[in-house]
């Protein structure tokens, strides 16, 4: 069995950087479900992380629900896609 240690390596100094956060979001039924959010960290304090996704949605993750998080490299342009400027 392979075990992974989850670490939350994010803080206010990472605001403006691209991040991924694994967290326990409220489930549709009973309990919570684990989900990942990828985007730009807009805010981070002792209460929550705010991440803006590529679609423009803003996700607020309470610190006590965050399981792991880290900075990730900027997205690389994919061939065939045009980016507007």
Q: pLDDT of 30-71, one tens digit each? A: 777 999 999 999 999 999 999 999 999 999 999 999 999 999
Q: Using an 8 Å Cβ cutoff, are 50 and 57 in contact?
A: no
Residue 17 is given by DSSP the state S
Specify the pLDDT at position 85: 54
Query: Where do the domains of the chain lie?
Result: 12-71
For the chain, helix, strand, coil in percent to 5 are 5, 45, 45
DSSP E strand boundaries for 1-85 = 18-26, 32-44, 48-53, 58-62, 66-71
What six digits make up the tokens of 85? 């400027």
Which of 2.60.40.10, 3.40.50.1100, 3.30.565.10, 2.30.30.520 would CATH assign to domain 12-71?
Answer: 2.30.30.520
């Amino acid at each position: 069995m392979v075990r992974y240690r989850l670490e939350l390596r994010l803080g206010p100094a990472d605001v403006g950087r691209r991040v991924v956060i694994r967290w326990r979001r409220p489930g549709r039924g009973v309990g919570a479900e684990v989900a990942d959010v990828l985007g730009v960290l807009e805010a981070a304090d002792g209460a929550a992380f705010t991440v803006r996704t590529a679609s423009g949605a803003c996700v607020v993750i309470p610190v006590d629900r965050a399981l792991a998080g880290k900075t990730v490299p900027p997205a690389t342009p994919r061939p065939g896609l045009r980016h507007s400027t």
